Amino acid sequence: MSGSYPIEHFIDVCLDISDHAGRKIMEVYAREDFGTQRKTDHSPVTDADLAANRIIVDALKDLTPEIAIVSEEESFKPEGHSAFWLVDPLDGTREFIKRNGEFTVNIALVVDQTPILGVIVAPALGVAYTGGIGLAARKRDDSGQWFEISVKEPMSDRDIKIAGSKNHMTDASRHWIKANCPNSEVIGIGSSVKFCLIAEGAAHFYPRFGPTMEWDTAAGHAILNAAGGSVIRMDGHPFLYGKDGFGNADFLAQYHPS
C-alpha cells in the first residue's frame, strides 16, 4: 500500500506546508474581522480557511501533481485515483471564531481507502503531530521539541478519559459513555485534537455519533494508527475513505488496535 510513496519525506514537506498555513491562519486570528461568511450548508468559513486552503492546495500540487487533492473548501470525487490527499485547511472554524485556540490544519494521504500518513498542526496551541505507516507517531511541543508518542492503557475504569466534542456532544454519545465508561472523565475539546489526545495517552476513547467528513478524521486517524490505536465504525464495518459525498458513519477512536 505505502511502498511506492516516500512517507517520511511527504510528512516533512506536509509539516512545512501546514506550518506555513498555520502562520497565515494566525495572521487572520490577530484581526478583529475574520471575514466570516456562510457556506451553502450554513457552516461558517473565514478568510483564514480560504487563505490556508490556497497555500496547501498549491503546495501539494507542486509536490505531487499526479495525486488528486480533496479539500473541505473544494471537494470532488477523485475518480480513478487510488491515492488522494485529504485536506482540512482549518478544522474547527467555530473554535477559531470563538478564539479558544482549539483549531487545526489537517493533511492526510489516502491510498486504497486508508490514510497512510497524517499531519496535524494546532497553530494557536503551538503543537504539531505526525504519523504514518511504518513510522512512529510524534509530537512537537510548544517549545519546538519533538518526541515519540503512543497510546496508554488506563490503569482502571476510573482512569478512563473520553475526548468529546464541545459543539457536537449528542445524546447518543452520552448514552455510549454511560453504558461503556460510566466512571470516566470527559475532556471537551474542539477539532482533530481529540485524536491527538488519544495518540499521546491523554485520553482513551472518542465516540462520535453524528455527521463528520473524511477531511475531519483522516489525519487524526493516521496519527492514531501510528501511535497504536485505531478508528472503527460503530456498526462494525471497516472505516474507509473515498466514499461518495465523503461523509463518515458514526465511529469510535480508541487507544487499542481494532
Q: What is the pLDDT of residue 111?
A: 97
Q: Residue 123: helix, strand or coil by DSSP?
A: coil
Residue type, 224: L
The residue length of the chain stands at 258
What is the reported pLDDT for 39?
A: 81
User: Quick one: pLDDT at residue 168?
Assistant: 73
First CA to last CA distance, the chain: 19
Alpha-helix runs per DSSP H in the chain = 7-29, 47-63, 93-98, 171-180, 193-199, 214-226
CB atoms within 10 A of CB 9: 10
What is the full per-residue pLDDT of the chain (258 aa) written as tens digits?
556 899 999 999 999 999 999 999 999 999 999 999 888 777 899 999 999 999 999 999 999 999 999 998 876 667 767 999 999 999 999 999 999 999 999 999 999 999 999 999 999 999 999 999 999 999 999 999 999 999 999 999 999 999 998 777 889 999 999 999 999 999 999 999 999 999 999 999 999 999 999 999 999 999 999 999 999 999 989 999 999 999 999 999 999 998
Return the pLDDT at 1.
57
**Contacts of 224 by beta carbon, 8 Å cutoff, 6+ apart:** 131, 137, 151, 195, 198, 199, 230, 231, 253
pTM for this model (two decimals): 0.95
Q: How far is CA 40 from CA 43, 57, 68, 75, 130, in A?
A: 8, 21, 24, 13, 32
Domains and CATH numbers, the chain: 7-149 (3.30.540.10), 157-254 (3.40.190.80)
